[in-house]
């Protein structure tokens, strides 16, 4: 694989070993930019690099909680009070640096597990950035990703050898309290744990609350996981409740009559977006060929358009202007999708008539908000 100076590079249907090779090449080529990793309907993860070193990792399920959890774990490991952590822009403490390492290992572990234990397809997208034009704060640390990758692989092997491969520690345990719990010898000892499970804390968080290692904590509740008394959900209960509450007013809308267009040269992004829209009951179609964009829009007249900002031989701004100049399309809501998230880009998108501006990787919650605002609002 070769990393050229391209705005966008897509690779699809890969294995985790391909990511390992990607990370090695990133270091070798002193790549600066973002590597966005997507696995089917899973929330995407983004690795940000500066001259081949890891500057930050984001995305996945509840990234803010992930950071807070690992910062707490770092403080506990180093016996430092949380208040000693510097605010952004100040000199970094040891706990901040350790938390960043722990969060990165966690994200890598999750990617390994998903690749090993599911049939999900992995893809990634590279977005290169000129390091001379986007300089990092000199106080922010950069990390060598390779030793963190080795640690993540070793942690996964230990987890798998313990018979826990099918249980995802970043997911959220829930209990069906209407069902009787199985008769276990240590059920009384598990009572405090059961009381703390509310669907809003992941296995990782529950282990920290109990001051146990993740491995030992999960072993303790393994009989309940095996019996099905404890289920692991992809999203926290509070997030699911918010989604359900937003769907209640829209139940009178016949979503099957609404058509949504996804214009993006990335097949994986179109596929994932179309899959999510289909699951929500909408009709959708994707367009990757820039030469067919306007003809398909005029032919199908969708109710909403998701439009990629940067495509080969096409410019999202220019396409949006064409849409606004076309009488049959001029009133259709246009949502710009882009990995660029600057104030200038947002202002320009508004000027040329875009209704929304969503940053990649795109969160399902943001899609829900846009659909509710433009298709289902009263």
Report pLDDT digits (tens) over 235-294. Answer: 888 776 665 555 544 456 788 889 999 998 888 888 888 888 988 889 999 888 877 888
Do 212 and 124 share a structural domain? no
d(CA 238, CA 241): 5
d(CA 203, CA 197): 9
With respect to residue 85, please indicate whether it lies within any of the assigned structural domains: yes
Count of CA atoms in the C-beta half-sphere (13 A) of 122 = 21
With respect to residue 309, please indicate whether it lies within any of the assigned structural domains: yes
Do 254 and 303 share a structural domain? yes
Q: Name the domain boundary from 231, 247, 263.
A: 247
With respect to residue 182, please indicate whether it lies within any of the assigned structural domains: no
- The pLDDT assigned to 83 comes to 46
How many beta carbons lie within 10 A of that of residue 247, not counting itself?
15
Do 192 and 136 share a structural domain? no
Strands 9-14 and 356-359: unpaired
Do 19 and 141 share a structural domain? yes
Three-class SS of residue 371? helix
Do 125 and 19 share a structural domain? yes
CATH number of the domain bearing residue 322: 3.40.50.2300
- The pLDDT assigned to 305 comes to 94
Task: Name the E strands within 180-303.
Answer: 230-233, 259-263, 283-287
Do 276 and 243 share a structural domain? no
- The pLDDT assigned to 1 comes to 42
How many beta carbons lie within 10 A of that of residue 5, not counting itself?
8
Do 344 and 266 share a structural domain? yes
With respect to residue 3, please indicate whether it lies within any of the assigned structural domains: no
With respect to residue 2, please indicate whether it lies within any of the assigned structural domains: no
With respect to residue 259, please indicate whether it lies within any of the assigned structural domains: yes
Do 229 and 118 share a structural domain? no
d(CA 69, CA 64): 9
Do 259 and 228 share a structural domain? no
Do 306 and 265 share a structural domain? yes
Q: Name the domain boundary from 101, 126, 161.
A: 161
With respect to residue 304, please indicate whether it lies within any of the assigned structural domains: yes
Total count of domains within the chain: 3
What are φ and ψ of residue 179, in 5° steps?
A: -100, 145
- The pLDDT assigned to 89 comes to 40
Q: Name the domain boundary from 199, 221, 247.
A: 247
Count of CA atoms in the C-beta half-sphere (13 A) of 369 = 12
- The pLDDT assigned to 355 comes to 86
Do 21 and 148 share a structural domain? yes
Do 340 and 221 share a structural domain? no
- Assess contact for 292 and 337: CB atoms under 8 A: no
132 CB burial (10 A radius; 0-12, 13-18, 19+): exposed
d(CA 206, CA 202): 6
Residues of the chain with pLDDT under 70: 1-13, 41, 79-93, 130-140, 176-189, 240-252, 340-351, 377-378
d(CA 370, CA 305): 11
d(CA 221, CA 181): 12
d(CA 377, CA 363): 20
Structural domain that includes position 207: 169-175+188-247
The residue among 135, 125, 127, 132 whose CA lies nearest residue 5 is 127
With respect to residue 4, please indicate whether it lies within any of the assigned structural domains: no
């Amino acid at each position: 694989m070769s990393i050229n100076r391209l705005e966008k590079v897509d690779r699809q249907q890969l294995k985790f070993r391909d990511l390992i090779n990607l990370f090695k090449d990133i270091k070798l080529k002193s790549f600066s930019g973002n590597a966005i990793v997507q696995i089917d309907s899973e929330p995407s993860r983004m690795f940000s690099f500066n001259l081949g070193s890891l500057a930050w990792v984001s995305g996945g399920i509840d990234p803010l909680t992930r950071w807070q959890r690992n910062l707490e774990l770092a403080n506990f490991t180093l016996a430092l009070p949380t208040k000693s952590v510097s605010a952004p822009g100040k000199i970094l403490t040891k706990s901040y640096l350790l938390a960043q390492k722990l969060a990165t290992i966690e994200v890598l572990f999750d990617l390994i597990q998903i690749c090993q234990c599911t049939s999900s397809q992995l893809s990634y997208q590279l977005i290169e950035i000129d390091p001379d034009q986007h300089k990092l704060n000199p106080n922010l640390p950069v990390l060598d990703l390779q030793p963190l990758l080795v640690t993540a692989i070793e942690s996964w092997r230990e987890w798998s050898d313990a018979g826990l491969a099918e249980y995802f520690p970043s997911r959220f345990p829930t209990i069906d309290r209407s069902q009787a719990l199985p008769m276990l010898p240590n059920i009384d000892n598990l009572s405090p744990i059961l009381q703390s499970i509310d669907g809003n804390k992941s296995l990782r968080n529950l282990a920290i609350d109990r001051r146990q290692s993740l491995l030992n904590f999960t072993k303790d509740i393994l009989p309940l996981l095996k019996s099905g008394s404890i289920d692991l959900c992809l999203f926290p209960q509070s997030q699911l409740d918010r989604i359900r509450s937003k769907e209640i007013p829209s139940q009178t809308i016949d979503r099957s009559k609404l058509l949504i267009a996804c214009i993006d040269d990335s097949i994986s992004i179109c596929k994932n977006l179309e899959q999510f829209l289909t699951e929500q009951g909408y009709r959708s179609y994707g367009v990757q060929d820039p030469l067919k964009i306007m003809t398909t829009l005029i032919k199908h007249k969708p109710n909403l358009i998701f439009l990629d900002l940067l495509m080969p031989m096409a410019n999202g701004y220019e396409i949006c202007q064409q849409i606004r100049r076309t009488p049959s399309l001029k009133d259709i809501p246009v949502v710009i999708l882009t990995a660029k998230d600057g104030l200038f880009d947002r202002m320009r998108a508004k000027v040329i008539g875009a209704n929304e501006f969503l940053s990649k990787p795109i969160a399902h919650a943001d899609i829900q908000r846009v659909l509710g605002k433009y298709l289902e609002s009263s």
